[in-house]
Amino acid sequence: MSFIFVLAVIFFLAAQTVYAEPVMDGKAMYIKYCAPCHGEKGDGKGPVAKAIFPKPRDLTTGTYKIRSTPSGSLPSDSDILSTIKRGMPGTSMIPWDVLDDNQLSQLVPIVKGFSKLFVDEKPDASIKIMNKLPNTAEAVASGKKIYMEKGCFECHGDSGKGDGLKANKLRDDAGNPIYPFDFTSGDNFRGGSADEDIYLRFTTGMTGTPMPSFEESLTEEQRWNLVYYVKSLCVKEDMASLHKNK
């Protein structure tokens, strides 16, 4: 290896060090990327919060919509990391997958630090999904029946468009307006679109919103059937859109 080549490598590495953006810790990343919406105090009152709908999460409450833990429990670290990485489709919370996993992991303790609940309590163990049932026509038909019997249509609408009679009256725990998910808008669910992700939403509920947990009121089989029914609404809408655009 020639001396000139080694010298060139040294100068190249030095230049990279000089011109590279300084490495930020979790607090600095929060201030730069998260505080404009969630506020420097994590109270959801950042400078652009007034212009956002739905409103940014007030992190001081310790309540999180997306969890793998049971209803009433704090989220796990991996739940928080996953939400930051995936974002919340249909809201101003974009996916922060431009940050690597190391950077994302540094944000987790910063976010948790806004609520004393994470000091006083520990999250319950994540729910293990053990008995996934097959997606069949019978399961979808059963899911539709459950959808109507449990009153899902009152918020999400008869055909899942998010236009139920209660849709314009919903509020979150802070009293802010909130809207139900439109299942026909595409297979882009908050918290993930895999069957298992949606099953968890029906099992854990979405804390801080009117979306309840069905862990006690529906069996595992019924929850799977409900998953397959709401996903069938997405497929039908997508196929109709494809046909319309031909």
Evaluate whether 20-120 and 137-244 have a shared fold: yes
Q: Taking the CA atoms of the chain, what radius of gyration do you get in angstroms?
A: 22
CATH 3.40.50.10140 holds for 137-244 = no
The answer to whether 237 and 186 are in contact (CB under 8 A) is yes
Q: Kindly list the domain boundaries of the chain, sorted by start residue.
A: 20-120, 137-244
d(Cα 75, Cα 191) in Å, to the nearest integer? 12
Among all chains, which residue has been given the structure tokens 């297979």?
Answer: 187
d(Cα 234, Cα 186) in Å, to the nearest integer? 5
What is the per-residue pLDDT across 3-37, written as a single tens digit (0 to 9) for each? 333 333 333 333 343 334 556 899 999 999 999 99
Range 32-52 average pLDDT? 95
CATH number for 20-120: choose from 1.10.760.10, 3.30.1360.30, 3.40.50.1000, 2.40.37.10: 1.10.760.10
What is the per-residue pLDDT across 201-234, written as a single tens digit (0 to 9) for each? 999 999 999 999 999 999 999 999 999 999 999 8
